[in-house]
Structure 1
Amino acid sequence: MRYFLLLFLFASTYIAQIIDTNKIDSFINKTRERLNLQTGFSISVVVKDSIIYKKGYGYIDIDNKTNTTSETPFYIASATKSFVAALNKILMNEKVIDIDEPISTYLPDFKFQTKPLDTETISIRDLLTHKHGIVSLPAVLRTAFTGDYTKEKLFELYQNAEFTGVNFKYSNDGYVFNSLILEKVTGKTWQNLLEEKIFIPLEMNNTSSKVSDYTSLVLPKAYSTINGEIRELPFLKEDKTMHAAGGIISTAEDLSNWLIFNLGNEEFNSKKILPKSDLDEIHSAQVNCEKTFWKYNRYSYGLGWYLSDYNGETLIHHFGGYTGAKSHISFMPEYKIGIVALTNDEGDGYYLTEIAADYVYNLFTGKDADQIAEEELKIILNNQEEANSVEKEEKSKIKSDWNSELLVGEYYSEDFGQVVINENLHLKFGNLNGDLIPSDNKKFICDLKAFRLKVEFTEEDGKVIELILHGPTSLVFQKVK
């Protein structure tokens, strides 16, 4: 049995803490068995400046039994935001930008059309802390899902953005817009800047913002496990849909270097990246946000990080989720411990990242880790039956009253781009696609894998003239062909 003796300073007292890593391994294996998981899971635990535990579980390709390791690259989705926020502070430290300057300083010719949005009053800091009030669903859909955009088109869409108020409102918009500013100022893309300023100095050699840097054999397949039934999903990400609010692929080992840096280590292998004072600012409360995710009571947002309370301890974190991908990156600053947990399962394996991390944190801080884990696991087990019924919604037996030939064709929206429906009633929306399944006589459901949408058509004089996709808001497309 292996033990690590950990000495750290807390509340002016040196505490000797022993972690049995076999206990972590046993817990994860047993939990995966109880959840009937074969999908991939990768975890790394960092204390101060060292990795004390790392391991991969399950498969990134179930059919071919390709094992997961701590070096398996996973898409980390919105956890990208903490990297981009740090990048802005690095550039500020180099006097390239000032995050407290209004965006008009860097985009003097850009103007919002919707009041009270004003480039003179919105700062880069506002963009990074989600209190800018800018919302452009077309820009978010195009950058994260369809890939149907140019830089010029994004500027046009943001010129016509809506205003949502200046209180905290989490979205991708601030970070996508920030990336346009960074490219304008530096002449380099946000991807190149991240590689130059963060990935290379932190020796994150298996990390990239480009899907094309990996072969399909290396990247995990996307899955959803419901009550032991495994459904393979398409891997929807491509270079064009990797954006500054969610555009990094990395490994548990590489992300451990990122955590070591965030745990207050100004230098990484003698390379200085940011002063500790800047790191402290990044991790400090910037805006209030009374939110709860899982068991974490989020009370504030810093620069790319949530500040939360978990069982009486401060937990700083950012997670990410997308079709068949989930990332958990967190740390407890008082204890100098951080955890990376990654999976390719959006079903019953989705919250394993939290359950496993919570177990390690509770073990480390002297709480009843097994009892707390059992209570948390019951949440997943109790929800399995309901989730399973949702999965069985698949092919409806309802027959549509539509003549399918009328629905076939191309539809276009100036804001959202193009939708194509073929003769098999298969809908393609940029990088998203799925079958139209009748939900009643005149309506359909389309499972785009990233999300499900209700679909309606408008008819006039015996012809279909309009397609409407109903989600959080309605997207209207005119039939053009």
Structure 2
Amino acid sequence: MYLNIKNGLVHSIIVFITLTLLIACGSDSSSYTEQPKLKATEPELLYGKTGDEKLHEELEAIRTQYNMPALAAFIVSSDALLEMDVSGYRISGQPTLVTTEDRWSIGSFTKSITATVASRLVEQGLISLESDVLEIFPELSGKIKPEYEHLTLRDLLSMTSGLKRDLDSMFTGQWHMDQRSMTEQRYSWTIELLNTEPETTKGTFLYSNAGYVLAGHMLERVTGQSWEALVAQEIVIPLEMNLIDFGTASFMDPDNQPSGHQIRDGQWHAITAADRVSLPKVIGPAGTINTNLHDLSLYLQAHLSGAMGKGNIVSTDSYAHMHSPVSESYGLGWILKENNQFHHNGFTGSFYLDNLIIPEENIALLAVTNGSTTQAREAVEQAIAVMLERYNAQ
């Protein structure tokens, strides 16, 4: 999966274009790749109701309409899985079907997990939301831009740091070839980032993948553990999840996991490590987690329950901090909507995921597909809308 710069201009162009798409997590995906053709007719959606064992039929209708390789979805209450199902294929054009145990890349939905890890560490007294760069990295005094010395963990988690969206070095391939430990790489990332020019004024919302890597590294510094180890210790174990991994699952287990897809020459192309278009693992806190539907359901249940005033892996106060606006529509790792609803989507360039937590209804919904394009977003949104219709029909 490492980039080989010596392979020439063609690979450089592919890397530049693809990484530009990948790091667009959490934003509009309308121009990510060319679009596959929609089916000629609208899907016949019968909706039904939650629990009638017909969610698969609805997902298959949506998947077919939007011409996606696969589509998966579930709805939970704060204490129960209400329904979960999948439709389609691990690799477009091949016969192996996806299963409810398969792992999906979740892109920028990872940011909510990073914010939750941070909240756990705040409660343990290891760091504060007001801890700033020089408090955590005192040796950087005089070695970074003065305006960044007092950026806080809250600034970074709320996207109000003023830092640029992404490092320019993301497009050079250097991070793919770097063989140092993740903490060493993220320290180098931190120094480079804190010597870039501000993109906007501090306090102004600007979506920043780069800033989330810095936030993750602050957590690494105060604990002496990698961000990956912290996710396992602070999220996976207390929620009794089965598996969270980092990177693209199908690269490590191509025979048993869904491949992400991009459109090439009007057809779905299953992405493999040979395509050399994956995100470098250094940006983990911003978007490299993969996991299965079961684990995602447990994680959404925790946040739904927390939003309803029931503490679990963090206190109700910590959940309130994450789910409340710092800027107009962003909290700490969550995008805020009307009526106290919230979500965070994720786009990797070959997977798309979105979700919706509705505390007043005691439900949370999630859908994911293994393809890019605007149609991926529309298929996921349609799946969530259909599950809402089914839930309301009970």
Give the TM-score category using the shorter length.
Answer: 0.7 to 0.9
Match of 1:34 among 39, 60, 65: 65
* Whole-angstrom distance in 1 between the partners of 2:367 and 2:159: 25
Match of 1:323 among 349, 359, 370: 349
The answer as to 2:261 corresponding to 1:223 is yes
Q: How does 1:53-132 map to 2 (within 5 A)?
A: 53-111=83-141, 117-120=147-150, 122-132=151-161
Map Cα deviations across residues 98-151 of structure 1 (whole Å, 9 max, x no partner).
11222221111224767662312x211001000011227436716999524534
* Whole-angstrom distance in 2 between the partners of 1:114 and 1:153: 12
In structure 2, the residue matched to 1:193 is 230
* Whole-angstrom distance in 2 between the partners of 1:228 and 1:359: 28
**1:304, CA displacement in angstroms?**
0.3
**1:277, CA displacement in angstroms?**
2.2
Q: 1:91 to 1:62 in 2, by over 3 A?
A: same
Match of 1:158 among 193, 196, 200: 193
Q: Is the partner of 1:25 in helix, strand or coil?
A: helix
In structure 2, the residue matched to 1:25 is 56
Contact 1:128 1:303 in 2 (8 A): yes
Q: 1:24 to 1:207 in 2, by over 3 A?
A: same
**1:226, CA displacement in angstroms?**
8.9
**1:339, CA displacement in angstroms?**
1.2
Q: Which structure has more strand as a fraction of its residues? A: 1
Q: 1:63 to 1:31 in 2, by over 3 A?
A: closer
In structure 2, the residue matched to 1:306 is 335
Give the TM-score taking structure 1 as reference length: 0.62
**1:307, CA displacement in angstroms?**
0.6
In structure 2, the residue matched to 1:181 is 218
Contact 1:113 1:161 in 2 (8 A): no
Contact 1:136 1:157 in 2 (8 A): no
* Whole-angstrom distance in 2 between the partners of 1:49 and 1:144: 44
Q: Is the partner of 1:36 in helix, strand or coil?
A: coil
Q: Is the partner of 1:351 in helix, strand or coil?
A: helix
In structure 2, the residue matched to 1:170 is 207
**1:19, CA displacement in angstroms?**
3.1
Q: 1:137 to 1:48 in 2, by over 3 A?
A: closer
**1:24, CA displacement in angstroms?**
3.8
Q: Is the partner of 1:339 in helix, strand or coil?
A: strand
Look up the equivalent residue of 1:278 and give its one-letter code. Answer: S
Look up the equivalent residue of 1:308 and give its one-letter code. Answer: K
* Whole-angstrom distance in 2 between the partners of 1:276 and 1:70: 31
Aligned length: 331
The answer as to 2:382 corresponding to 1:355 is yes
Q: Is the partner of 1:134 in helix, strand or coil?
A: coil
Q: Is the partner of 2:128 in helix, strand or coil?
A: coil
**1:254, CA displacement in angstroms?**
0.8
**1:237, CA displacement in angstroms?**
3.1
Q: 1:202 to 1:239 in 2, by over 3 A?
A: farther
Q: How does 1:327-476 map to 2 (within 5 A)?
A: 327-347=353-373, 348-365=375-392
Q: Is the partner of 1:281 in helix, strand or coil?
A: helix
Q: Is the partner of 1:67 in helix, strand or coil?
A: coil
In structure 2, the residue matched to 1:277 is 317
Contact 1:146 1:241 in 2 (8 A): yes
Contact 2:165 2:209 in 1 (8 A): no
In structure 2, the residue matched to 1:5 is none
Map Cα deviations across residues 49-80 of structure 1 (whole Å, 9 max, x no partner).
11111111101123442211221101111100
**1:153, CA displacement in angstroms?**
2.8
* Whole-angstrom distance in 2 between the partners of 1:178 and 1:85: 9
User: Could you list the runs of 5+ residues in structure 2 that have no partner in the other structure?
Assistant: 1-48, 179-184
Q: Is the partner of 1:255 in helix, strand or coil?
A: helix
Map Cα deviations across residues 391-420 of structure 1 (whole Å, 9 max, x no partner).
xxxxxxxxxxxxxxxxxxxxxxxxxxxxxx
Q: 1:132 to 1:102 in 2, by over 3 A?
A: same
In structure 2, the residue matched to 1:248 is 289
Look up the equivalent residue of 2:158 and give its one-letter code. Answer: T
* Whole-angstrom distance in 2 between the partners of 1:175 and 1:112: 23
Look up the equivalent residue of 1:134 and give its one-letter code. Answer: L
Q: Is the partner of 2:270 in helix, strand or coil?
A: strand
* Whole-angstrom distance in 1 between the partners of 2:266 and 2:161: 43
CA-atom RMSD, angstroms?
Answer: 3.0
Q: 1:323 to 1:276 in 2, by over 3 A?
A: same
- Which one has the largest radius of gyration? 1
Contact 2:70 2:90 in 1 (8 A): yes
Q: 1:333 to 1:83 in 2, by over 3 A?
A: same
Tell which deviates more after alignment, 123-132 or 95-104.
95-104
Look up the equivalent residue of 1:261 and give its one-letter code. Answer: A
Look up the equivalent residue of 2:62 and give its one-letter code. Answer: T
Tell which deviates more after alignment, 180-189 or 72-81.
180-189
* Whole-angstrom distance in 2 between the partners of 1:200 and 1:143: 36
The answer as to 2:327 corresponding to 1:287 is yes
* Whole-angstrom distance in 1 between the partners of 2:382 and 2:173: 28
Larger RCO, structures 1/2 (Cα 8 Å, 6+ apart)? 2
Q: 1:251 to 1:183 in 2, by over 3 A?
A: same
* Whole-angstrom distance in 1 between the partners of 2:160 and 2:313: 27
Give the TM-score taking structure 2 as reference length: 0.75
**1:168, CA displacement in angstroms?**
0.3
Contact 1:140 1:173 in 2 (8 A): no
* Whole-angstrom distance in 2 between the partners of 1:321 and 1:192: 23
Query: Taking every aligned residue pair, what percent have the same amino acid on both sides?
Result: 25
